[in-house]
Amino acid sequence: MKQEENIIYFVTGNIHKFNEISVLFSKANIKYNLIQEEIKTIEIQANNIKEVASFKLNSIKGKINGSYFIEDAGFFVDIPLNGFPGVYSSYIMKTIGNKGILRLIDDFESTQAHFTSVIALYFKPYDKNFFFEGSVYGKVSETIRGSGGFGFDPIFLPDLMPSKTFAELSIEEKNKISHRGIAWTRFIKFLRENYI
Ligand code: ITT
């Protein structure tokens, strides 16, 4: 069992997420140190990202003696796929991937898509869970573009920067507008206001 002062654990097996969050953390000038922890978590198939995140967070209980958080994200193609892959994002990425998603779309002009991120925090000082959410809206790119980012980034064109996919942005540029960046701003505000 882990126990450290002033440490906050980010439980994730995804190094890209950890890198994005480390960049935000280092700029936040906050009194916690961030440590990546790779503990096996349970990912259930639920109706929304928050439910998945809540279950995942609770599956860590008793394994870390301190404050810790997880982050869960999903990619939703609202038009024309009615939100697919959404909560199935991990599985779809591993099976049909970006190429498979593009094959399901016939009219790229009318697409609408979004990412949603939920950060779920177990905050030891209050012995309570807290949730911070963020979403970013855009379109699906007709082709796979860019070498940065990860996952669905090469096929997502954010409304705020419609000429580039997320994979064509630097980590800093993506963080400024992304689902995870928005959730993080809320999370960091909470940590600042509740430093104990
Ligand atoms: P954890 O260990 O933190 O759970 P994960 O890779 O399983 O990492 P998620 O379940 O949150 O992450 O992500 C679901 C899928 O969505 C997965 O295939 C990711 O590659 C993809 N994804 C998540 N965030 C993304 C982002 O910012 N840009 C592109 N794809 C993303």
Q: Would you kindly state where each structural domain of the chain is located, as residue ranges?
A: 3-193
Model pLDDT, residue 167: 98
Find out whether the beta carbon of 17 lies less than 6 Å from any atom of ligand 1. yes
Catalytic: which of 72, 106, 107, 153? 72
pLDDT tens digit sequence for 27-72: 888 888 899 999 888 878 888 999 999 999 999 999 999 999 999 9
Assess whether pLDDT exceeds 90 at residue 166.
yes
Can you name the CATH fold of 3-193? Answer: Maf protein (3.90.950)
* 142 close to 108: Cβ distance less than 8 angstroms: yes
Which one-letter amino acid corresponds to residue 152? F
Active site residue 72: yes
Assess whether pLDDT exceeds 80 at residue 8.
yes
pTM of the model: 0.94
* Residue 147 burial (C-beta neighbours within 10 Å; 0-12, 13-18, 19+): exposed
